A and B are shown apart, each in its own frame.
Chain A
Amino acid sequence: MATEMDKVDVVIVGSGWAGGIVAAELSKEGYRVVGLERGKDQKMEDFIGAKDELRYSSRHGMFQDLTKETITTRNTENEDALPIRSNSTNSINGTDTGGSGVHWDGATYRWWPYDFEAYSKTVEQYGEDKIPEGMTLQDWGITYNELEPYYDKFEKTAGVSGEEDPLRPGRSDEYPNPPMRGSQVTSLFKQAANELNYHPYHMPSANMSQQYENPDGETINACVYCSFCGMYGCDFGAKADPIVTVLSTAQKTGNYELRNNAYVTRVLHNEDKATGVLYVDTQTGEEYEQPADLVVLAGFTFANTRLLLLSEIGEPYNPDTGDGVIGKNLTGHFGFYGVSGFFNDKKFNLYAGAGALGATLSDFTVEQLDHNELDFLHGFEPRVVQSGSTPIGSNGVPGDTPTWGEEFKEKSLYYTNRNFGINIQVGNLPWAHNYMDLDPNYTDFIGDPLLRITCSFSDQDRNIARYSVEKSKEIMEQMGADIIEGSEITDETEFNETTLTSHTAGGAIMGDDPQTSAVNNYSQMWDMENLFVVGASSFSTFSSSNPTGTVGAVAYRAAEGMIKFLKEDGGILVEKN
């Protein structure tokens, strides 16, 4: 029998950006909030001196403990899915206080107006026929303009250091901090892009260009470009993460209690109301029930979807009929493509850098391209990122070089500071056959089914990838690289267990129709008004830019909805379509 804890106003699963933002906003309003985090307690002091590539990068020290739980993957419905057994195969999920937001890189973008109305805008511009059969484009039930104030709020909380993108739509305010410094690499990229008549700009980053105090009174230090950034906690409190911002704000109110090693297994509910959650203390094995007036799932795409399925809330998606919603529209950045450039006569200080120090351009994004002439929808964003290379991870050699032995050693040493890449992000759009459900064969450490991913590539995915590599090669050529190599995308290139990334979305998507969406634009479950499901799980489609800016915006909007819900004695906050 589970031990019943005292009832609180709000219980939140997860302590990442999504859970942290909600915790801060609700505890500031005076509500009593309990956060449940499966991972261990960690704070800034844990990251001092954490410049250890083997531990954090090669061995994925900050990622999910797979002894307890993982996900399974397969391409199609008639295969058995296999579990991702090691973070070396693919490290995806953060754990511990702050979630993935602690060891992220900090590239903080907004998404495109198109993204929120992907279906309507495609039909409006190109006609219904442009949408290939099986592509399940859907609008979010909210527009960019409606979400803009929440983007602004998140950028101010995170102290985003940025330069305005000349091609992005209007902002209500400037970035809270000026862009980070440039490097030889970012300058070279911008120069080449300008020569090609593109519109380069500095990547928006949550690595601070200067010391900053956010509106909640939290101070984030200035970044010192120390290189041990993405995959690592920041040694200097200079990367906006949930620990130095929203979780600290929540703690200061005295209304927020974070319990670590608390693995949530079910949302408890009667017919149409959530009553709390069930969790296991992973250090004792004991089970607890935490009752609450409001339940918030903020455990990231996978955990959010899995907990809904395990708790039998909402109708599971059926890929054969297209009915149901939970698990639907699995999207993301499935694999990162790129182009490498090897320079024979130039040497760069590549060992220096910061997670999101980079330059990019929006000339190939969905709103810039004319899709009448293209065999794909949406767009991509090429960029150079000088995140600071570390020696185990930086052994690139031109393709005709052996990968070990004398010649490899010679060339890998020679090119260490003479090669870098253009990374390309391509958003994978939703398809009827890409979804999540519960795995019938594999279970977690307490015997509950794992989440199963079913996903395969379509021609759309391969076509856009090929085109993006071709265009990026032209930029690399303009940058003067002597040897240029790009990702090869063949007709056989297929999604596999290594392709899934921490940029994955869907499963409990947002919309204005309960028939086709799980939550409304406040992230409130249509089927259960006191249950909010927050994070990338609610993204109906995916974009070419990084997701966390949108996770933050959606979370601020959700928190506003929760406060409204609690103040106004409940009810569904948005009219159903």
Chain B
Amino acid sequence: MSNNKDSQKDNTTSNEIGKEHGITRRKFIKNTGMIVGGVAGGSLLGGMLTNNFQAETTNSPVYEEETSTFTEARMFFTRYEDFVVLMQATERIFPEDDNGPGAIDLGVPYFIDKQLAGSWGINGSDYRKGPFPGSEPSVDTSTQTRGEIFINGLRKMNQLSHKQFGASFDDVEKNQQIDILMHFENDEVDMKGVAASDFFSLLRQMTLEGAYADPLYGGNKNMEGWKMKEFPGAVHSYEDIIENDEFIKMDPISLEDYQQG
């Protein structure tokens, strides 16, 4: 995601924060040089400095119009009907509040969609040989892939919503959605080939991942998840603050900034 306007803005604030705590950019660079200087040789040192600090020293152009992200389209979920259930379910797990955005605005549903479309969704690094015994296997011991489990789980949510409240999951009240999710959490739903509670914990886990993983994966939009969590992201060194007794708040740095500068 390249939103120049935003990264420009973040850089200014991060400079301000740096100054506030007496860590000027110059000193930061100097310290870094001291730490790795002359050891790893030019390539590492050079790479690190440009990677980390180019953003602060070059003036990236500022575009007037909003640039589009182009990545918010579905890669895995074919039915929109399934995707809206996912959107609502993740928002109930991580709702918008006074602290900041919820799952939907953070891009969590698209994050999950992308994850399921890739190796994670097809259990690409798992041991998959049989036999697969057990009546209610966990998501990790099921014959189904994580992608299949998601589709089955979301459809089951919708079914339950129709059955219990006479409308689809995205049309019922918040507290009704919560009620349905609790049925999953407490294993009061029968899912084929996997415990409902285990599907729920995967859904919960992936919702948190989408809120807090580096934005390169499509969630944690504009690092809003990190801002709420006061997590500074891919900061290359905390040498100057590790011994500090006061809490130090910094504006976060994404891997895009870290790796490309």
Instruction: Give A contacts to B, CB under 8 Å.
Output: 44-45, 48-49, 51-54, 58-59, 65-67, 69-70, 80, 82-89, 181-184, 211, 219, 221-222, 224-228, 235-237, 347-349, 351-353, 357, 388, 390-392, 395, 403-406, 409-410, 413, 416-417, 441-443
Are the CB atoms of A349 and B238 closer together than 8 Å?
Answer: yes
**Which A residues are in CB contact (< 8 Å) with B228?**
413
Q: Given the known inter-chain contacts A49-B258, A405-B95, A409-B95, please indicate yes or no for A224 contacting B125, CB distance below 8 A.
A: no
Q: Please, which residues of chain A bring their CB within 8 A of the CB of B92? A: 404-405
From the candidates B123, B126, B229, name the one contacting A413 in the complex (CB within 8 A): B229
Chain A residues whose CB sits within 8 angstroms of the CB of B167 once the complex forms:
none
Partner-A contacts on B (CB < 8 A)? 32, 35-36, 39-40, 43-44, 47-48, 51, 92-95, 97, 99, 120, 123-129, 131, 133-134, 138, 140-141, 178, 181, 185, 204, 207-209, 211-214, 216-217, 225-226, 228-239, 241-245, 247-248, 255, 258-259
Asked if B133 and A222 make an inter-chain contact with CB atoms under 8 angstroms apart, the answer reads no
- In the bound complex, residues from chain B placing their C-beta under 8 Å from that of A417 are 230, 247
On whether A49 and B51 interact (CB within 8 A), knowing A184-B245, A211-B39, A226-B236, the answer reads: yes
Query: Shortest Cβ distance from A96 into chain B, in angstroms?
Result: 13
Chain B contact surface mostly = loop
| Residues in A neighbouring B128, C-beta threshold 8 A | 67, 85
Say yes or no: A348 contacts B48, CB within 8 Å.
no
Residues in A whose Cβ lies below 8 Å from that of B248? 349
Q: What are 29 A-B contacts with C-beta separation under 8 Å?
A: A44-B40, A49-B259, A51-B214, A53-B213, A54-B209, A54-B213, A54-B217, A69-B127, A82-B141, A85-B140, A85-B141, A86-B126, A87-B125, A182-B243, A183-B243, A184-B244, A211-B39, A224-B35, A225-B238, A225-B242, A235-B236, A349-B238, A349-B242, A349-B244, A352-B241, A391-B211, A404-B93, A410-B97, A416-B230
**In the bound complex, do residue A413 and residue B99 qualify as a contact, i.e. CB atoms below 8 Å apart?**
yes
Q: Which of A70, A357, A390 makes the CB contact (< 8 A) with B231? A: A390
Pair B123/A86 contact, Cβ less than 8 Å: yes
B residues within 8 A CB of A227?
A: 235, 238
Contact A403/B204 with A48-B47, A83-B127, A441-B131 known, Cβ cut-off 8 Å:
yes
Q: In the complex, which residues of chain A have a beta carbon less than 8 angstroms from the beta carbon of B44?
A: 44-45, 48, 236-237
Alpha-carbon separation in the docked complex, A406 to B94 (Å): 7
The answer on a CB contact under 8 Å between B239 and A225 is yes
Q: Check if A347 sits within 8 Å of B213, measured CB to CB.
A: no
In contact, A84 and B242 (Cβ under 8 angstroms): no
Residues of A with C-beta under 8 A to B123: 85-86
- Please tell me if the beta carbons of B238 and A392 are within 8 angstroms of each other in the complex: no
Q: A53-B212, A85-B128, A410-B97 are in contact. List 17 more A-B contacts (CB 8 A).
A: A52-B255, A58-B209, A69-B127, A82-B133, A85-B126, A85-B140, A89-B138, A236-B40, A349-B248, A352-B241, A403-B204, A404-B181, A406-B97, A409-B95, A409-B99, A413-B229, A441-B131
**Chain A proximity of B20: nearest CB distance (Å):** 15
Measured between beta carbons, the chain A residues less than 8 angstroms from B39 are 211, 219, 221, 237
- Residues on A with C-beta less than 8 A from B129 are 83, 442-443
A351 touches B242 (CB 8 A): no
Q: How far is B242's CA from A183's CA once the two chains are assembled, in angstroms?
A: 6
Q: In the complex, A237 Cα to B38 Cα: how many Å?
A: 13
Contacts of B208 in A (CB 8 A): 392, 395
Whether B235 pairs with A226 at a CB distance below 8 angstroms is yes
Report chain A residues within 8 Å CB of B43.
45
Task: Among B209, B211, B237, B247, point to the contact of A348 (Cβ < 8 A).
Answer: B247
Residue from the list A69, A183, A237, A352 in contact with B40, Cβ < 8 A: A237
Tell which of A67, A80, A86, A181 touches B242, judged by Cβ atoms closer than 8 Å.
A181
**Assuming the A-B contacts A66-B126, A349-B247, A406-B97, are A48 and B48 also in contact, with contact meaning beta carbons closer than 8 angstroms in the complex?**
yes
Contact residues in A for B125 (Cβ distance below 8 Å): 65-67, 86-87
* Residues of the A chain whose Cβ atoms lie less than 8 Å from the Cβ of B258: 49, 51
Cα distance, A70 to B141, chains bound together (Å): 13
In the assembled complex, the Cα of A182 lies from the Cα of B245 at a distance in Å of 11
Please report the C-alpha to C-alpha distance between residue A219 and residue B45 in the assembled complex, in whole angstroms.
15
Q: Nearest Cβ in chain B — how far from A55, in angstroms?
A: 9
Given A391-B225, A441-B131, A352–B242 Cβ distance below 8 Å? Answer: yes
Complex CA gap A395/B231 in Å reads 12
Q: How far is the CB of A349 from chain B (nearest CB, A)?
A: 6
Q: How far is the CA of A88 from the CA of B149 in the complex (A)?
A: 16
